[in-house]
Amino acid sequence: MAAGIAFAAPSGTSVSFSREIAPLLAINCYGCHGDSGGLNLRTYRDLMLGGNLGKVVVPGDPERSLMIHFIEGRRGPNHRMPKESAPLLPAQIALIRRWIAQGAREDSVRLPSVRRVLPSVPMDKKTPTRVQCKVNVPAYLVVTMRRPGPKGEVLWEDAVSVKKPKQKGDVGEPGQVIQWDLRAGYGWPRFVRLELDVRYAPTPPVGILFTATAVNPVVRR
């Protein structure tokens, strides 16, 4: 069964991109269509730009929208999206259809997220720093490394989804530890700021793990 936050709103009401469509895409689609796959769905602008096959959303016309063709499996089972994962629920597809039929509009609703910050993490070119995180609910996780300071330059960033059961585009399941081994790049400061943003969680996450420690080198005898 496909995971997701959003389900069809009551008939006759407007579908919110921020509250209903974006969370559904984040948990089910961003893993393959974030910065790869020929189509970026992470922002409304990128979604509306389309991808290798052209525009995927035709405002006001679900039948001509390629997104509907692929999530409904009209291009055949090998091309159904999410690929190699459970199909979206009928209610989720109906929600996307309604949003497109209503004009596929963007809104400015900002959903709450949970942030954890490690303000001063040593970063070295030779010794990796192991960054680990764990959340107990399905969510979209964004890990950002910055120069020191709350608005410092972004040095590195990764975004991943977790849900149960884990599917092709997911990095793991809720409760599993996810990790990155990172080294300093050219011109990086000795200490960096690490941020974890937990987005689109259906319930507030508790007991979040977010740590960064130097990886001890293996001593060969």
Domains in the chain (CATH in brackets) are: 17-101 (no CATH), 114-214 (2.60.120.260)
* CB-based contact 15:106 (threshold 8 Å): no
Using CB atoms within 10 A of its CB, is residue 36 exposed (0-12), middle (13-18) or buried (19+)?
exposed
- Which value, in Å, is the radius of gyration of the alpha carbons in the chain? 19
pLDDT attached to residue 36: 55
User: Does the pLDDT of residue 5 top 50, yes or no?
Assistant: no
pLDDT tens-place string over residues 53-94: 888 899 999 999 999 998 898 877 777 787 777 888 999 999
* CB-based contact 82:88 (threshold 8 Å): yes
Q: Which amino acid is at 38?
A: G
pTM over 0.75: yes
pLDDT attached to residue 31: 67
pLDDT tens-place string over residues 116-150: 999 999 999 999 999 999 999 999 999 999 999 77
pLDDT attached to residue 21: 92
